[in-house]
Structure 1
């Protein structure tokens, strides 16, 4: 069984390592959509994989820590590409929610990254 929950946050960033003149080198922002996926067997008593409220309890503080922030100021996100941000999110969420199997992070409606751990 696979379940998912979505979260949204707004953050600014710039990419300091892109070539001079690249538009992403300038300060800009995104409305991110984070989808977290969980995989496993249903609990025979509860009839669910994991309580959605438990997911929210763990993920909300992580999302809140970067919502309306400059990502470059967050330790570990000095060059905050979507790929590196997805790994950063994974490392914050996975230890608390071991059934996490995949993160999908969209920085625009048409661009994003899928990360399934290392």
Structure 2
């Protein structure tokens, strides 16, 4: 199996409503997010790629135009915008466009990651 991945970055705010008031994530706060999309294939295409990285420019545009420097609760219409939910969101968005997508990972801090892999 061949696997490739590409990393994307954006900054945004969110608030995890429903947590106790004294929980730090219940307050409005922001992160410098890192998103990694993984694609896999048992065979390479005619150019020797799983998929051309240039094809993934659509995800960069989506992030820049829709998520970057926004309040994610408003954009995604959800009070539970966790890294886990974002990983699933990115997986679904990418899988609808590229059949080779196999996983999405999201980091909110340099030491934490959430991954969605069906």
Using structure 1 for the length normalisation, give the TM-score: 0.91
Structure 1 residues 76 and 88: CA distance shift in structure 2, 3 A: farther
User: Once superposed, which parts of structure 1, at least 4 consecutive aligned residues long, lie more than 3 Å away?
Assistant: none
Q: Deviations over 1:23-49 (max 9, x none)?
A: 111111000110100000211x21111
Q: For 1:9, what is the secondary structure of its paired residue? A: strand
> Between Structure 1 and Structure 2, how many residues are aligned?
115
Q: Which residue of 2 aligns with 1:42?
A: 44
Q: Which residue of 2 aligns with 1:110?
A: 111
Unaligned runs of 5+ in 1: none
Aligned pairs for 1:74-113 within 5 A:
74-113=75-114
Alpha-carbon shift at residue 88 of structure 1 (Å): 1.5
Of Structure 1 and Structure 2, the greater helix share is in 2
CA distance in 1, matches of 2:14, 2:76: 13
**CA RMSD after TM alignment:** 1.2
Unaligned runs of 5+ in 2: none
